[in-house]
Structure 1
């Protein structure tokens, strides 16, 4: 159900597959064109791997080295350029000699290193002055001041291979081995065992959310690097999930703990604090907590790992944390004594649907020096910040008020009592999905807008909060990246301005932003529309709806600039109008907007999708309303099949990939947050029946392709097999492709599968003939 993060988060929905079958009687009206390999090559020109390299000087991500210096990656026709900027002067210079580094990496064993394409994931200066560089999954220590030499850091100190979590002083890293927590000294490699009673399925810091299971350690170091906050995760009574690999000979059985909605026993955590120098485990004096988060459906929500709902005091003596109930309706703010394990409950928040503490990161903060806490709440229908007294647990006052959301608190300066936060919908007349940066006093007052441009802003604050780098853009205006003063938003220097001359030379065009009314005829919905670059207003075009229904995100990945939105433009190039609409029930808007179909996940934004397409067809006579198709991945795969069953006379062709078609067969936390706890009525029906695709599969009329990876450990393949079984029992024709040994993302199968999806819509929705076995390029990020 979840989208893949990072680069693959933006393009994860491309991982799709299907069989091409001849159009059957009653399928979409045929025009009878025969497409050529050149037509598909034209479509491929607009795939992300072809468009992204043609955008020059689009700097989105920067990395602060200290309070006054940051590094970033710039790109142009000559390759990648790693630069360092001095915030005090606004001057940029090379971060290092790239040719020297490439040669040193090659000598150290990285034969793929090229001076113009180094692929550096992380860079910092090591304690001994050498450059600490992460590239292609390995860390190297490099001396580039002389002739240039790099050494694989793992060869310097012999240690275990378990992934570790570095302490703030970067001298130790904590890791899991045999269900127990250990630390290793970074300099010497010496390893020390911290816990002794961890056993299988009752281990320390283990990362298993059912849909995700890794070897990473989930924990939070204290600021002084002397203590670790973590948990012992109890899965001993959880149910199991199984998949098997396909191979010659006996298949390999894979099993792991995977609780489901309604299970009596689900994962619990017992919170502990570990005194690292003393090797002492302090168990918090409280009952076990649910394996839940105030932000997402895992205790670790962010891309960088960590334990989101845990905050240390600066002195490391106390720890604040938030407990979330199984159904996400009850939140409890607590403080623990790190020495004794005593726990004090400070305040609660209870909601009728589900609580979330922000977008992207939890927004609550622990301010022990002033005995206060910042708390996020949507109690007035919008996400705002509130200040609580830690002594009596009472609300002192609202920090922010009014319409529009605080999406993410970026920094709190307790001394100046200033909060910097990203927000949406707070500026009248601006697209409500455009993020902007604000600052406000903890004591209240009017927030100050620091990024006034009506655009989507990506913000990176310096560690000391004096500066921030701002990259802003829209779907039609290219990124401008500037260095700004965090006190007033003044522009101090221009970092880069994107140039798309090379992209435009390919015939590229941006998508069109569209605004339509929701199912209620009142609420504005925002989306993107893609037309062929050879668009002819005299033609009638079939329309394809790309859908991801949420509830944790929507169909539109960003309203900022990107040269490719999945493969939407490529599909449009084959003779379609393609749309992506964020319907009601998706985030970033009001709480009531997000709650639109709480407890009725079978809604899947589909009433809004149908209403939007009908409005667009009225607005644009070149849209053929009789030829509407739909496709999506994961939650979008669920929504696609749902659309074909629930609106069988509207959607004629559907492509459903890896869908969670009945959330009773998907991990417990997902549905129990959005659908509620499972209830069985006296007649045997349940409150989950309204979201079950197998129960309405009998209503299929059009062409439907079902696709799933055979070892999908996020959405197990049995979700699709439930639909298959229902379709067979209803005597319905359908198409299916099972991808051997593929997970939730389709990896090396992606180019083949993408082409087959194009073929499916070309043949069955447009009524045209695709070229035979066109081969898309392998995807470079795979």
Structure 2
């Protein structure tokens, strides 16, 4: 089992004996929080494979049952993700990793094998795509599902040594293309430091005209456990793609302090600054794209997100009030001192204090959006479900209260009977968001019309 200090700077991998006694097998120590994965027991429990970021990247280590390190199995400037299988006879480990292949998006996942002696690291599914694999129980075969946001998905069957057996299926998108669909456009920009590479995707209207100018809207999620950037083609792209069809350029882009699939430094960049850490990069990305593409109007910038993205989009309006003009913020954790331990405390950090009597207390304080309510200049729509059991509605209500006390005009949408994902009111919220950006970024919407005819067209008529 794993046991940790509350601040996650100390994690021990512990063996518990039948008589209840314990033995520490591995000690992990860090000056920021740590991630941990379940170890793989091999060779009848006499060895195990442990995942660690101790050298700044996620890698695998082979230990004996007494906690003695036998071999570091992988190393280098890339991230190992999940163990997918093993071959004890061949003393081989199978796993997924990203960031190893040159001239690829570092988020693209691949399947690899490596010997228990750390030798013969082999790429099993080459190709400049994001790969999702499903490995057979025997580890002799795997199914490889691969695509990019701008490619047609394919599925193929492989042997464990990486030899392709057959193509199983290739998606048919002909009807989608016939309807006028165009793939989104991946891009790369620099972070606010001018050094770190950030990766994103740009979505355009179906009738895009490069001689015209368009407002730009950023769809965001700050991490640190993930980023709102799609790597592969799939249905999760639909709401971002649909939002662009109102007549806007919509982008998603990473930020320092985001996805754990990069280096540990990248992942923990926001430690101790959980409100503002990603905002500079969002601003820098939009500015660089506007310099690169004349069809982007940098004077009309919107931002939207849900949950952590709701928190971040409101923060963007308050930290950079002259840059971000419009925001739609859904279910935001605007005051992280009343949010949960897993997201807020873990990723921001907590201070442990021991009194002279030996009593231990923990304190942490994360900068709140409500503290900056006086900074609001643009148009802001805050939305929440009234029975959200993830981000408590009090987060949004406190934000509303702060804006009222600051004498600000804004909009607030309460979705009755809805939890964190907005349930059967998700579509209503989408069109409300579309109206809001259309009105205040484009200047042309149906926001003053009572009936949402777009939704009504999709509702089957009762007989």
Common fold: TM-score over 0.5: yes
- Which one of 751, 757, 763 corresponds to residue 433 of structure 2? 757
Equivalent residue for 2:286? 613
SS in 2 for 1:603: coil
Determine the structure 1 residue equivalent to 2:6. Answer: 326
5 Å-filtered alignment, 1:621-660, equals 621-660=294-333
Q: Is the 8 A contact 1:638 1:659 kept in 2?
A: yes
Q: Which residue of 2 aligns with 1:387?
A: 62
CA contact under 8 A between 1:678 and 1:688: conserved in structure 2? no
Larger Rg: 1
| Alignment-derived partner of residue 60 in structure 1 | none
Displacement after TM superposition at 1:778 (Å): 6.0
Asked if residue 716 in structure 1 is aligned to residue 395 in structure 2, the reply is no
Structure 2 unaligned runs (5+)? 354-362
Match of 2:219 in 1: 546
Call closer, same or farther: CA 1:568–1:462 in 2, change over 3 Å: same
| Alpha-carbon distance, 1:539 to partner | 1.3
Take 1:589 and 1:348, find their aligned partners in 2: how far apart are those partners?
23
Q: 1:510 aligns with which of 146, 163, 183?
A: 183
The residue aligned with 2:44 is 369
Q: Does residue 347 of structure 1 match 2:26?
A: yes
Q: Distance in 2 between matches of 1:694 and 1:769?
A: 30
CA–CA distance in structure 2, aligned partners of residues 650 and 532 of structure 1: 23
- Counterpart Cα distance in 1 of 2:93 and 2:241: 40
Higher helix share: 2
* Cα deviations by residue, 1:570-592 (Å, 9 ceiling, x for unpaired): 22111101000011111211111
Taking the TM superposition and a 5 Å limit, the aligned residue runs for 1:244-393 are: 321-338=1-18, 340-357=19-36, 362-367=37-42, 369=44, 371-391=46-66, 393=67
Q: Is the 8 A contact 2:12 2:27 kept in 1?
A: yes
Give the SS at the match of 2:284.
Answer: helix
Shift of 1:652: 0.5
Q: Distance in 1 between matches of 2:253 and 2:123?
A: 28
- The match for 2:168 among 495, 511, 523 is 495
Q: 1:565 is paired with a residue of what secondary structure?
A: helix
Contact 1:510 1:563 in 2 (8 A): no
SS state at 2:49 partner: strand
Distance 1:442 1:701, change over 3 A: same
Q: Is the 8 A contact 1:421 1:438 kept in 2?
A: yes
- After superposition, what is the alpha-carbon deviation per residue over 1:457-499, rounded to whole angstroms, capped at 9, x for unaligned? 110110011111111111111122111100x211112211122
Cα deviation, residue 368, structure 1: 6.0
CA contact (8 A) 1:363 1:408 kept: no
Displacement, 1:679?
7.6
For residues 92 and 352 of structure 2, the distance between their equivalents in structure 1, rounded to whole angstroms, comes to 46
Matches of 1:647 and 1:669 in 2, distance apart? 28
Is the 2:151–2:183 Cα contact (8 Å) retained in structure 1?
no
Task: Give the count of matched residue pairs.
Answer: 445
Per the TM alignment, residue 345 of structure 1 is displaced from its structure 2 partner at its CA by 2.0
Q: What SS does the corresponding residue of 2:442 show, helix, strand or coil?
A: coil
Measured after TM superposition, the shift of residue 555 of structure 1 is: 1.5
Report deviation, 1:414. Answer: 3.2
Task: Provide the rounded CA distance (Å) in 1 between the counterparts of 2:146 and 2:340.
Answer: 37
How far does residue 604 in structure 1 lie from its aligned partner after superposition? 4.7
Contact 2:7 2:351 in 1 (8 A): no
What is the rounded CA distance, in whole Å, between the counterparts of 1:668 and 1:721 in structure 2?
Answer: 20
Q: Distance in 1 between matches of 2:52 and 2:210?
A: 48
Structure 1 residues 678 and 722, CA, compared in 2 at 3 Å: closer, same or farther? farther
- Residue of structure 1 aligned with 2:159, choices 485, 491, 510: 485
Q: Distance in 2 between matches of 1:583 and 1:363?
A: 27
Match of 1:568 in 2: 240
Measured in 2, the distance between the counterparts of 1:367 and 1:332 equals 20
Separation in structure 2 between the aligned mates of residue 469 and residue 664 of structure 1, nearest angstrom: 44
Higher RCO structure (Cα 8 Å, ≥6 apart): 1
2:144/2:158 contact within 8 Å kept: yes
SS at match of 1:599: coil
Q: Report the CA distance between 1:728 and its aligned residue.
A: 1.5
What's the CA shift string for 1:642-699, capped at 9, x where partnerless? 001001000000101100111101012322210111589xxxxx8524x311111111
The whole-number CA distance in structure 1 between the counterparts of 2:38 and 2:459 is: 40
CA distance in 2, matches of 1:749, 1:632: 16
Contact 1:383/1:405 (8 A) holds in 2 = yes
**Secondary structure in 1 matching 2:325:** strand
Q: How does 1:5-404 map to 2 (within 5 A)?
A: 321-338=1-18, 340-357=19-36, 362-367=37-42, 369=44, 371-391=46-66, 393-404=67-78
For 2:358, the equivalent position in structure 1 comes to none
Structure 2 distance, partners of 1:507, 1:465, is 42
Indicate if the aligned counterparts of 1:604 and 1:639 stay in contact, CA closer than 8 A.
Answer: no
CA RMSD of aligned residues (A): 1.8
Q: 1:778 to 1:516 in 2, by over 3 A?
A: farther
Equivalent residue, structure 1, for 2:126: 452
Aligned residue number for residue 55 of structure 1 = none
Q: Aligned partners of 2:35 and 2:256: how far apart in 1?
A: 17
Partner of 1:470: 144
Q: Distance in 1 between matches of 2:444 and 2:352?
A: 48
Deviations 1:107-132 (A, max 9, x none): xxxxxxxxxxxxxxxxxxxxxxxxxx
SS at match of 1:567: helix
- 1:439 matched to 2:119? The reply is no
Counterpart for residue 356 of structure 2: none
Give the whole-Å Cα distance in 2 for the aligned partners of 1:445 and 1:564: 38
TM-score, length basis structure 2: 0.92
Cα 1:564–1:352 change in 2 (3 A) is: closer
Unaligned 5+ segments in structure 1 are 1-320, 681-685
Query: Is the Cα contact below 8 Å between 1:363 and 1:409 reproduced in 2?
Result: no
